[in-house]
Amino acid sequence: MTRKQLSTSVCSYGALRRAMRGVGLLYDQALAPAGINAAQYNLLRLIEKLKAATQSELAAELVMNLSALGHTLKPLVRDGWVVLDKDPADGRRRLVTLTSDGCIKLREAQQLWRPTQKRFEDVLGGGETRRLLTLLDHLASTDFGDEFLK
């Protein structure tokens, strides 16, 4: 059975996971020439946006546990694109920042990401893409989680 022939899902979780894996593979393939995957790219962009964030802040923003974040950070640190330094205000915390090589790697990957994102929007449609992003942001929000757990 091809993906096109699958019937409409009745499990929201399964449908979200299947869609994420399918779209994730497309983005991973597009970013492969830069030597990173979509999760690493997303993390590099967030680190750049937040400047110097703690691991807990990054994990919360990504709706990810600290262990999974550490797994994603490890190759970025190994390759010299990210550093973990003690927070001068609180030595118990570690701040995550991009190195100059990390900034270069991010720019390289952005050159691959931009046409991929444009293609996604072209195939799905601009309005549908905006609606999807709004819905996904809502699903990742603490408001949704709080309401779900009531």
- The answer to whether position 22 is within a domain reads no
pLDDT in tens, 29-42: 999 999 999 999 99
Q: What's the whole-model pTM score? A: 0.86
147 in the same domain as 112: yes
Q: Summarize pLDDT for 94-103 with one digit per residue, the tens.
A: 899 999 999 9
SS (H, E, C) 12-81: HHHHHHHHHHHHHHHHHHHHHHHCCCHHHHHHHHHHHHHCCEEHHHHHHHHCCCHHHHHHHHHHHHHCCC
Same domain assignment for residues 88 and 109: no
Q: Would you say residue 134 lies in a domain?
A: yes
104 part of a folded domain: yes
